[in-house]
Every structure is written in structure tokens, then in C-alpha cells.
Amino acid sequence: MILAVPKLKNDPFLKSQLNQGLGVSITTKTNPNPSQYRGRFAPSPTGPLHAGSLASALGSWLDAKANHGQWLVRIEDIDSPRTIAGADQIILNQLQACGLHWDGEVVWQSQRHALYQNALDCLIENKLVYRCTCSRQTIVQNLEAQGIQIERHGELIYPHTCRHQAIASDASTFAWRLALPESCWIQFDDLKMGHHESNLNQEVGDFVLQRADGLFTYQLAVVVDDAEQGITHIVRGEDLLSNTARQIYLQQILNLTKPTYQHLPVVKNTAGEKLSKQTHAKAINTSSRETILRELNQAAQHLGLRNVATNLSNSISDWLNQAVIAWKIMR
Ligand SMILES: [Zn+2]
């Protein structure tokens, strides 16, 4: 076990820190050399890599190599109903075929529940979360009763229904929600997208960390994993930018180091939709060196890289070496 739940009950110092809103303290298996860059690619195994996910993988790999860092791969299969059996292995094979080799062992979120439970237990012990038995339908009804307009597919800002009522611990199903403080402004500087400010109360409200079906949410898992793996730099698609403020807030209350963030523009199809399984994005073609170089060239173009040879007689490793140089020049 790597995350250690501290004994806070009789510790006046930690209690006073809590009163100042600092939150719990978690010891993590830190990067053995914290000054060394550690990046990661964290695909969800919902299908094979497509042009969009390849661009994210390449961007994070190039940034790690340009910084003489390590590059880790983590399979984000926490949302088991969405996971496709075998997709993880396909993704790993595609990365290998493209010459994007990772450092260390690949980790699977589905095997790390104890870590997430431990983090949640810290928050429970410190009364920073509460039980919630509301269904989506109840939340909608409560919001409507308060005269709040609900946009279709919009984020439901939780109306605090369960926050002030005690839900018995033996209630058959309940989710754990984070109790946000009254004012919860998060600011951060993204290396690509610039300065960001979020008011979490207005934008997302008290969000769920463990669902009523027992699944830990992406927000909790990703924060615990990045800390436990000693990740210093997160390079990922812009579609995840709106999650960043929530993750930074969780890092703050769990007392974890905040990594540096860089969000890359996402690849869109001709209809302007983000490439994804939902928009029927095609798997990248790794059937030969030429097709792989074509895919890599396309990903490089998307990332805005100049001066990478498009010559299909190159070897993949030569192409990648040139791309690292081009990435350094672009920064
Ligand atoms: Zn509720």
C-alpha cells in the first residue's frame, strides 16, 4: 500500500491545518528524482487509437523526450461499463508500432481500487465528502423546483440536497460527493492555453468521487494516480481542460503536488466534432512502415510541428528523432 491514511484525530497541528482548509495529508510514492520530468499517456480502452488519440500520445511523448524525461502509460479502465475487452492490448500494440515506447510498467486503473479507496477514506475521515442518494431525476426536479433552468446535456450543479441531511451509512446505495467550500476559485497557467480561472461552485458544484454503483470517478482516480506515479507534466487533449480545475482542487485538499499542465488542440472531423469512438473515428493504420509514417506525419501536422521529413523512406525512429528536435524548436 502506498497511500497512507494519517491519524488525524489527536493531531492538533493537522487539525488546525484542516481548519484552514488545507485538507488531509497523503504520502505518495513520489518520483525517485522529482526534478526529473515525468509525463504520461492515459488512454481509455474504449477502442483503438485514432488520429486524435495518436496526436495526444505523440504530443506527450515528444514533450517528455524533449525534456529528457520519462514517459509512462496508464490504462484508464476505471469506467468498466465503457471498457472494451482487448482494446488496451490493441492500444499498446499501436503505440509500440509507432515507436512510442514507454518507461516502466503499464498500470491499469481497474487494479488500483485500494489506492482510490484510501484517498476517499481520508476525505471521509475529515468530513470533506458526504453521502448522496439523489438520482439524476431527483436532482433535475430539485433544480426545477428552485426555478433553475436546465440545459439539455448541460452540467447539473448539485443543489446540496443531501449535504445537510444525514444519510445512514447502511443506505442501500449512495454516492460520495465532495463538499466544496463556499468560495472555490481555482487558477492555473496552462503552458499552451494560458491563464485559466474557474469558480467550481458555479461551474460544476459538489462533484461525485464515488458513484452509487461503487465506481470511483475519473476525477479522483486521475489525481491519485498522477500523484502516486510522480507525474510532473500532464500533456493531453484540450477536451480535458474543463476537468483540470476540479483535479487541482482535489490535489489541494489531498495535499498532493500539482503537475504542470499543457492542453493540446483536439483533432476534429469535417463536421467539426472531436474524433472519438462516438463520432466513429477510424483506427490508425499500422499495417506497414509507410502507413505508420503517414499517421505520424498527420499527427505532427496537427500538433503544429514544422520541418519533420514527410519522406516515407525514413525509419520510424529517425522520424521520431527529427520530431523531437522540431518540438524543441516550436516550444
Ligand atoms: Zn443527494
- Whole-number Å distance, alpha carbon 264 to ligand 1 midpoint, is 35
The pLDDT of residue 25 is 42
- Whole-number Å distance, alpha carbon 200 to ligand 1 midpoint, is 18
List, in sequence order, every residue forming a beta bridge with 268; answer none if it has no partner.
274
- Whole-number Å distance, alpha carbon 167 to ligand 1 midpoint, is 9
- Whole-number Å distance, alpha carbon 171 to ligand 1 midpoint, is 12
- Whole-number Å distance, alpha carbon 215 to ligand 1 midpoint, is 17
- Whole-number Å distance, alpha carbon 198 to ligand 1 midpoint, is 24
- The candidate with the shortest Cα–Cα distance to 41, out of 75, 67, 65, is 75
Residue spans of the domains in the chain: they are 30-266+274-330
- Whole-number Å distance, alpha carbon 197 to ligand 1 midpoint, is 27
- Whole-number Å distance, alpha carbon 25 to ligand 1 midpoint, is 27
The pLDDT of residue 34 is 64
- CA distances, 33 to each of 41, 69, 230 (Å): 20, 11, 9
- The candidate with the shortest Cα–Cα distance to 180, out of 166, 197, 201, is 201
- Whole-number Å distance, alpha carbon 214 to ligand 1 midpoint, is 15
The pLDDT of residue 3 is 38
List, in sequence order, every residue forming a beta bridge with 107; answer none if it has no partner.
74
The pLDDT of residue 111 is 95
- Whole-number Å distance, alpha carbon 318 to ligand 1 midpoint, is 55
The pLDDT of residue 1 is 29
- Whole-number Å distance, alpha carbon 310 to ligand 1 midpoint, is 55
- Whole-number Å distance, alpha carbon 217 to ligand 1 midpoint, is 16
The secondary structure of the chain, three-state, reads: CCCECCCCCCCHHHHHHHHCCCCCCCECCCCCCCCCCEEEECCCCCCCCEHHHHHHHHHHHHHHHHCCCEEEEEECCCCHHHCCCCHHHHHHHHHHHCCCCCCCCCEEHHHCHHHHHHHHHHHHHCCCEEEECCCHHHHHHHHHHCCCCCCCCCCCCCCCCCCCCCCCCCCCCCEEEECCCCCCEEEEEECCCEEEEEEHHHHCCCCEEECCCCCECHHHHHHHHHHHCCCCEEEEEHHHHHHHHHHHHHHHHCCCCCCEEEEECCCECCCCCECCCCCCCCECCCCCHHHHHHHHHHHHHHCCCCCCCCCCCCCHHHHHHHHHHHHHHHC
- Whole-number Å distance, alpha carbon 123 to ligand 1 midpoint, is 18
Cα–Cα distance for residue pair 24/4, rounded to 1 Å: 11
Cα–Cα distance for residue pair 122/4, rounded to 1 Å: 9
- Whole-number Å distance, alpha carbon 177 to ligand 1 midpoint, is 8
- Whole-number Å distance, alpha carbon 161 to ligand 1 midpoint, is 5
Domain 30-266+274-330, what architecture?
A: 3-Layer(aba) Sandwich (3.40)
Cα–Cα distance for residue pair 56/191, rounded to 1 Å: 15
- Whole-number Å distance, alpha carbon 144 to ligand 1 midpoint, is 15
The pLDDT of residue 6 is 33
- Whole-number Å distance, alpha carbon 174 to ligand 1 midpoint, is 8
Whole-model pTM?
0.87
Taking only the tens of pLDDT, the chain with its 331 residues reads: 233 333 333 333 333 333 344 344 444 455 566 679 999 999 999 999 999 999 999 999 999 999 999 999 999 999 888 899 999 999 999 999 999 999 999 999 999 999 999 999 999 999 999 999 998 888 888 888 888 877 777 778 898 889 988 777 777 789 999 999 988 999 999 999 999 999 999 999 999 999 999 999 999 999 999 999 999 999 999 999 999 999 999 999 999 999 999 999 888 877 788 777 777 789 999 999 999 999 999 999 999 998 787 788 889 999 999 999 999 998 8
- Whole-number Å distance, alpha carbon 225 to ligand 1 midpoint, is 27
User: Starting at the edge strand that comes first in sequence, how are the strands of the sheet with 38-41 ordered?
Assistant: 38-41, 70-75, 107-108
